[in-house]
Amino acid sequence: MTAVCEYRAGLEGIPVTQSSISFVDGHRGILEYRGIPIDKLAESSTFLEVAYLLIWGELPNKDELEAFEHEVNHHRRLKYRIRDMMKCFPESGHPMDALQASAAALGLFYSRRALADPAYIRAAVVRLLAKIPTMVAAFQLIRKGNDPVQPRDDLGYSANFLYMLSEKEPDPLSAMIFDVCLILHAEHTINASTFSAMVTASTLTDPYAVVASAVGTLAGPLHGGANEEVIDMLEEIGSVENVEAWLDARLASKGKIMGFGHRVYKVKDPRATTLQSLAERLFEKYGEDEYYEIAVALEKAVEERLGHKGIYPNVDFYSGLVYRKLGIPTDLFTPVFAISRTAGWLAHWKEQLAENRIFRPTQIYTGTHEVDYVPIHGR
């Protein structure tokens, strides 16, 4: 087959689907889920309500939301064999690898695949939204040598996750702020992990394989892994006084500033703005993070030097500071992102199934032809 359009590295600007799930205007700094601006949802919704909106296309009414919350609450536990499997993982392994393996393992335990049955779709959605946070928290406790804590049915989605992680019930402000973080990360059009989920979904495999492949894609430092590197970078800078010199050296060596720049946004990411104000609310209550002043000084310095190229903070720049204040270890930042983005991946899975065609792009061959075969002793 011949190529029908020019080759673009990274498929930049090439539509790979038609979707009604989310919308981004990178020049005006707008993000909408099903047409609703992200700041409205962050202000008034809960994560599970937003997950329902993304996956089923409309905000649930009170009864629908209560039924959905009830189902998710009652599917949070992991089968003991999954917990036992996780106990065999090396404690030095990255939690994203543990999550990818555990999400894929769900397919072994729930092997029925009935992609045309709405009840099956709902059960898979509920199970994945319910169990991914339990897996993240379980691996955290297991690697510290403890037994995982069972979920508590009386706690909401976010409060329960923070409880399973720290074995302490969080205060309402922390639970609310974490819930907003989940809303902000839940969906973002066709990024690398979502595309990976869609390609996997298009083969009509099971939803656990779809989410596992997306988790593996999210793990890379150019995607979800950037928020971990932001904290390492702020630590390396060390002080407000060192910001300018550090930035000059970084730019001179053509290094990237983690947490800045975005393929789509050419202004400050609206999620970064909300996350910054959430960080400030947490700092008011619990004291400022040692890296916050460095972050603000770095944002200003990067804007002066790279603003003309459209390089501004992305979602990862302030999320790490919020997570640190909530007591979440740095290497769980990306798994937390995965908890949230599972909603978006599942929305795209469902949309892909509704009008599926297996992905099969083409290539532009740049190799040689009719090359002589040289036997091994002659090479």
Amino acid at 301: A
Ramachandran quadrant class, 189 (left: phi over 0; alpha: psi -120 to 50; beta: rest):
left
Could you tell me the end-to-end alpha-carbon distance of the chain, in angstroms, rounded to an integer? 34
Question: Is 266 a binder of ligand ACO (CB under 6 A)?
Answer: no
309 belongs to the binding site for ligand ACO (CB under 6 A): yes
CA distance 139 to 96: 10
Cβ proximity to ligand ACO: between 263 and 285 the closer is 263
Binding residues for ligand ACO restricted to 343-372, rule: CB under 6 A: none
Tally the residues of the chain.
Answer: 379
Q: Mask of contacts with ligand ACO, 224-243, x by CB under 6 A?
A: x-x-----------------
The contacts of residue 236 (CB under 8 Å, 6+ apart) are 246
Helices and strands per DSSP (H, E), number in the chain: 16, 3
Q: By CB under 6 A, tell whether 196 contacts ligand ACO.
A: no
Q: Does 258 bind ligand ACO (CB under 6 A)?
A: yes
Within 8 A by CB and 6+ apart from 87, the residues are 142
User: If we measure between CA atoms, which residue out of 98, 90, 77 comes closest to residue 335?
Assistant: 98
Shorter beta-carbon distance to ligand ACO: residue 181 or 257:
257
Closest among 351, 267, 276 to 310, alpha carbons compared: 267
- Residue among 309 and 360 whose Cβ is closer to ligand ACO: 309
Using CB under 6 A, which of 212, 257, 326, 346 touches ligand ACO? Answer: 257
Among the listed residues 179, 187, 289, 316, the single contact to ligand ACO using CB under 6 A? 316
Q: Pick from 223, 283, 296, 330: which binds ligand ACO (CB under 6 A)?
A: 223
| Nearest Cα residue to 78 out of 154, 121, 155, 136 | 136
**Can residue 292 be called a binding residue for ligand ACO (CB under 6 A)?**
no
Nearest-approach distance from CB 37 to ligand ACO, in angstroms = 19
Nearest alpha-carbon partner for 153 in 263, 74, 231: 74
Question: Shortest gap between Cβ of 340 and ligand ACO (angstroms)?
Answer: 11
User: How many residues belong to the site for ligand ACO (CB under 6 A)?
Assistant: 18
CB of 28 to ligand ACO, least distance (A): 18
Confirm or reject binding of residue 259 to ligand ACO (CB under 6 A).
yes
The C-alpha atoms of residue 270 and residue 247 are separated, in whole angstroms, by 24
Contact range with ligand ACO by CB under 6 A, out of 75-83, 98-106, 310-318, 347-355: 310-318
DSSP annotation of 313 reads: B
Per DSSP, helices labelled H in 31-171 are: 38-44, 47-56, 62-73, 80-87, 95-109, 118-143, 157-166
Among 3, 222, 240, 245, binds ligand ACO (CB under 6 A): 222
Give the catalytic positions in this structure: 262, 316
C-alpha–C-alpha distance, residues 79 and 304, integer Å: 52
Least spacing, CB of residue 265 vs ligand ACO, in Å: 9
Is residue 311 involved in binding ligand ACO (CB under 6 A)? yes
Nearer residue to ligand ACO within complex by CB, 318 or 349: 318
Report the site for ligand ACO in 17-76 (rule: CB under 6 A).
none
How many C-beta atoms surround the C-beta of residue 286 within 10 A?
14
Residue type, 120: Y
User: Which residue lies nearer to ligand ACO by CB, 310 or 327?
Assistant: 310
The verdict on 262 binding ligand ACO (CB under 6 A) reads yes
163 touches ligand ACO by CB under 6 A: no
Give the nearer residue to ligand ACO in terms of CB position, either 115 or 192: 192
Q: How many CB atoms lie within 10 A of CB 176?
A: 16
Element (H, E) at 286: helix 270-286
Interface residues toward ligand ACO, by CB under 6 A: 222-224, 226, 256-263, 306, 309, 311, 314-316
